Amino acid sequence: MAHFSRKKWRTLENTAKIFPATSGKKDERVFRLSCQLTEEIDQVKLQKALDLCMEDYSLFLCVLRCGIFWNYLEESELKPVVREEYRPPCSQIYVRDQKNLLFEVTYYKKRINFETYHALTDGTGALQFLRTLVYYYLMEAYPDMVTGPVSQVQADATDEEMAEDSFDKYYSDKALVKDIPKYKSHQLKYHRLEYGQMRLVEGIVPTDALIRAARSFQTTITVYLTAVFLCAVAMDMSPRQKKRPVALMIPVNLRSYFPSSSVRNFFGWIDIGYNFSEQSEKLEDVIAFTSDFFKRELTPERIAARMNGFMRMEKNPFMRILPLPLKLWGMQAGAAFSTSADTAVFSNIGKIQMPRECEPYIDWFDFYTSTPKMELCMCSWKDRLTVSFTSGYANTRIERNFFRMLTGQGIPVEIIALGGEKGGD
C-alpha cells in the first residue's frame, strides 16, 4: 500500500472513494468544524498557529488528482492561508482540474472555522486537527496562560500511523455480510431552496439539561436525540407516508472498534429505520427501539461485517479495472439508486476535550456538513452541546418539531440560523 511519507502520493481510502464521484453543486461533500472563542480572532496569530499546525499534519497538504483507474492524493507545495470568512459555510472546496488544497481555515469575529473536503479526512481527523489548531492559537494569544505542550491535544502516533489506511489494515474477506437491515425509506418531499443553497439551524443547549432529559428515559444523549429526530420527522408525515419507515444514516467512527491513529477517513455507518405505522409513536417506545437497535448493531462483529461489505466492492477486480470516468459514472448511478435508503443523516462526534488551561477562552464548538437532504450533526464541549441541522429544503418544520420537543422537556435552546430568510440575513 502507498505510504505518503515515501511516495509523496496516496490512494483514497475505501469510503473516501465515493466523494470525488458524488460531490457537486447539490452536495459539495464539505463539512465544517468550528470553535467559538470568547474574544475576537487575530488573523496574524491564527496564521502563525496554522503554520505550526501544518508541520504536524503535513499529510493534509495535498491535492486531489485523477489517474486512469482511481483518483489519488498528491503532496503539494501549497501553503494554507487564513482568511476572514468570505462565502457560505460548506461551499465548494474540491474544484476539478484545479490543484488546490482540500481544506480551508477561516475566521469570523470570535470563531475559527476549519472546513474540509470529505475525501481528505473524516470528523475524527478534522476534530484532531482543529483541537491542535485552537491550542496553537491560544498559545499565541495567551502565552502566559496556555503554555503547552501541544502534545496534550495530539494523538500518540507517528506520522506514518497518522497516514495509515486503516480500511486496508483491517479488511478481511472472511466475515460474510448477513442480515444487514436495509430500508426503502420515507423521502422528504419539501420544496427545495435555490440550487446549491443550504440552510443552517443550530441549537445550543446546556449539556446537563439534556443529560437529565435523557436520564428521565433511562438512556443516553445519543439515543435520546436519535429518537427525537425520528419523531420530529414523523410528526410531519401523513398516514400514507408513514407506511414507509423513517431511516437515519448514522456514521460510525471505526476507530472505536479497530484501534487506529489515522487522521484519514476511517468511518462506516449504520442505518436505523423506524416504521411509525406499525410501531408505537410514543417517544419512550422509539427510545426503547433505538436503544436496542444500537446495542445490537454497534458491536465489533456487526461493524466489521458492514465494513468488509464496503471493502469487497472496492476489491472487486471488475470494479478495479474500469477506467476512472466509468467508475465515477457507476458510483453516481449507484448513489442515485440508493438515495431512498435514508431519510436523513445523524452524525455525532461526541464530547470534545481540551486541556484545562484552554477552558476560559472557549465558548463552544460546532460541526455541520453540506447535504442534499437533511443532516443533523452534534458535538459537545463542557456544558454547551450544539445540535446543527443543515438542509436543502425551504421549510423548517422538522427543525421546529425537533427543538420544540426539546423545549417541551424544559431544555433551554438558543438558536443560530443562516439562510432562507428573505432579506433577513
Partner 1 sequence: MQYCKRCKITVRNPHRKCPLCQGNLEGIPEEENQMFPDFTRENSRMAMGFRIFSFVCIAVCVAAVSVNWTMGFHSFWSGYVLAGVGCMWILSAVAIVKRRNLFKNAVWEAVLLWAVFLFWDFITGWRGWSVDFGIPIVLLAVYVILWVVVFVTRAPVSHYMIYMVIVSVGSLIPLILLLCGAVGVRLPSVLCVAGAVLMLSALAIFKGRALGEELRKKTHL
Three cell numbers written together for 387: 445540535
Radius of gyration of the chain (CA): 21
Nearer to partner 1, 300 or 323 (CB): 323
Give the integer Cα–Cα distance in Å for 346 and 389.
Answer: 9
251 close to 271: Cβ distance less than 8 angstroms: no
Give the integer Cα–Cα distance in Å for 257 and 272.
Answer: 19
Cα atoms in the Cβ-side hemisphere of radius 13 Å centred on 353: 6
Q: In angstroms, what is the minimal distance from the CB of 195 to partner 1?
A: 12
Nearer to partner 1, 271 or 366 (CB): 366
Q: In angstroms, what is the minimal distance from the CB of 420 to partner 1?
A: 8
Give the integer Cα–Cα distance in Å for 69 and 317.
Answer: 12
Three cell numbers written together for 13: 481510502
Residue that has been written with the C-alpha cell 501549497 in this structure = 78
Three cell numbers written together for 250: 448514522
Nearer to partner 1, 3 or 111 (CB): 111
Nearer to partner 1, 19 or 94 (CB): 94
In order of 201, 204, 347, the CA distances from 413 in angstroms are 12, 6, 19
Nearer to partner 1, 321 or 326 (CB): 321
Bridge partners, residue 273, by sequence: 247
Nearer to partner 1, 326 or 415 (CB): 415
Q: In angstroms, what is the minimal distance from the CB of 417 to partner 1?
A: 3
Q: What is the largest CA-CA distance in the chain?
A: 63
Q: In angstroms, what is the minimal distance from the CB of 259 to partner 1?
A: 27
Element (H, E) at 45: helix 43-56
Q: In angstroms, what is the minimal distance from the CB of 321 to partner 1?
A: 7
Q: In angstroms, what is the minimal distance from the CB of 99 to partner 1?
A: 7
Q: Where are the alpha helices (DSSP H) in 88-200?
A: 123-141, 159-162, 166-170
Give the integer Cα–Cα distance in Å for 406 and 396.
Answer: 16
Give the integer Cα–Cα distance in Å for 275 and 124.
Answer: 31
Nearer to partner 1, 150 or 322 (CB): 322
Q: In angstroms, what is the minimal distance from the CB of 208 to partner 1?
A: 18
First to last CA, the chain: 48
What contacts 148, CB < 8 A, 6 or more positions away? 135, 139
**Residues recorded for the chain:** 425
Give the integer Cα–Cα distance in Å for 74 and 64.
Answer: 6
Other residues' Cβ atoms within 10 Å of the Cβ of residue 246: 26
Nearer to partner 1, 110 or 255 (CB): 110
Q: In angstroms, what is the minimal distance from the CB of 362 to partner 1?
A: 16
Q: In angstroms, what is the minimal distance from the CB of 84 to partner 1?
A: 7
| Cα 347 to chain centroid, rounded | 6
Nearer to partner 1, 292 or 421 (CB): 421
Binding site for partner 1 (CB under 8 A): 2, 7, 9, 11, 67-70, 72, 74, 77, 84-89, 95-99, 108-109, 111, 201, 203-204, 320-321, 396, 399-400, 403-404, 407-408, 412-418, 420-421, 423-425
Nearer to partner 1, 24 or 148 (CB): 24
Q: In angstroms, what is the minimal distance from the CB of 19 to partner 1?
A: 18
